[in-house]
Chain A
């Protein structure tokens, strides 16, 4: 029942894209009470069919006004609070305009430990909940991403340490200093990132694979990971896949 509703909203726009331009322009006012509840049901259809629905798009987008957020992330006008804080204490950092809601800062590996100690222990900024340490592989970098929240206030921060793929010598792993020695939460997260993404954390007390078997070969979440095929997961020759 409910699946039919969005398709009903879709149908008039799909069937009359270009021919009914003035009709569409007049329609949003009439269709507003009906369509006001489904502004975003119309939006994906617009995104999927840009050519056909372009004349309809501005008309339909004009109808639902303040409910939708801006889709593209824009660099905010003011400098970020944590970026200022870190720069005041002499740590070079750079703000990345990646997310709308959380401030994202890029650091280099050598200042990482000092920055995190500062953010955790200073009295004005108490980011003491390390949510997760993740490894991300993008086109030209390996990132080690730290999500920081606070137990006592509402601050949120994302720190990224970017290691360029070109900086990593052949056959070696990208290296990032470990924070597990003073922040116990990072211990297992860093082991997991090493296991799945292959980012090596220097001075980690126990750098060993945690989720895969200990002598596993390869780093599964990398893009160039080839799955090992043996008698445990070879495909049935009659299989459709």
Chain B
């Protein structure tokens, strides 16, 4: 196995580094480095045992949208018992589950829920894409509302074809996943943050990937800002947008009222572009906040 290479060449890279923002409150003493190094030295011995233990106790989550869910229930029942392979209980909450068997078609409306569930699962987590619908969209190949394969939104470990696959097929997929877990290098997996960064988020209200929507919003705000800027005079162009944003962020609840009240008192030429800019940047800040929270 490849763990022999790690101990010799990877040592200098794997020392944990404290980020700049936390340097005044967090410090790592030399004992932490020693324990870390000890773990790395022992891992060729410990990780096969740990992997064996982990693979024999993979607890799935009850995530069944569609027809494949019935076969998943059947595999949990007495005829094709899945608990003899370690999947003793199906956990309803993602916080306690190891694996998610995406049994059933994932539509664009359901995708954000699946992504939220996947992100709520603690590491190490695995995905079995069950059924043709989750592998490539399956029967719903041209459909407008189906995500063509769940690997477009979350990373998948085992693909299980069938429509629906027989319960024995699910057991076969589980055994392959167990084999994969037994031969994996868990430390490498942790380093790469493989699972967290491979998720593609989908917006709930429109059913489109968030990257597209952020692009659209950015374009719209840039267009609005640039068209607003052209209408202004020179003094407006001198005002940098960042200063404006800092001002509005600091005084958010009060700023719109203050700015609207101003035009009667002060010169209209100076204040109206400020009002426009404040609105634009506030909307942009609000939209950015919305996007992040989704």
Contact = CB atoms under 8 A, between A and B. Distances in A.
Do A and B share a direct contact in the complex (Cβ within 8 angstroms)? Answer: yes
Interface stretch (A71-79, A85-93, A215-223): A215-223
A65 interface: no
Interface stretch (A53-61, A113-121, A167-175, A225-233): A225-233
B133 interface: no
B137 interface: yes
Interface string B134-154: 000100011011111000110
A233 B141 CA distance: 9
A112 to B, nearest CB: 30
Interface residues of B, number: 24
B202 A227 contact: no
Given A213-B205, A232-B153, A227 B212 contact: no
B206 interface: yes
A212 interface: yes
A241 interface: yes
Nearest to B145: A212
A151 interface: no
Contacts of B204: 213
B152 A212 contact: no
A49 to B, nearest CB: 32
Nearest to A235: B148
Contacts of A228: 144, 208
A215 B206 contact: yes
A175 B204 CA distance: 28
Given A231-B212, A232-B108, A241-B141, A215 B146 contact: no
A227 B109 contact: no
Contacts of A233: 137, 144, 146-148
Given A212-B145, A220-B144, A241-B141, A230 B208 contact: yes
Nearest to A241: B141
A198 to B, nearest CB: 14
Nearest to A234: B148
B41 to A, nearest CB: 43
User: By DSSP majority rule, is chain A's interface helix, strand, loop, or mixed?
Assistant: loop
B144 A232 contact: no
Interface in B108-123: 108-109, 111
A211 B146 CA distance: 12
B72 to A, nearest CB: 24
Contacts of B145: 212, 220
B147 A232 contact: yes
B273 interface: no
B147 to A, nearest CB: 5
Interface in B195-223: 200, 202-209, 211-212
Contacts of B108: 213, 232
A241 B143 CA distance: 13
Interface in B93-128: 108-109, 111
A230 B206 CA distance: 12
B205 A214 contact: yes
Given A213-B203, A231-B200, 17 more contacts: A213-B109, A213-B205, A214-B205, A215-B205, A216-B207, A217-B206, A225-B144, A227-B142, A231-B152, A232-B111, A232-B147, A232-B153, A232-B200, A233-B144, A233-B146, A241-B141, A241-B142
13 contacts: A212-B109, A213-B203, A213-B204, A225-B144, A227-B142, A228-B144, A228-B208, A230-B212, A231-B212, A232-B108, A232-B111, A232-B202, A233-B146
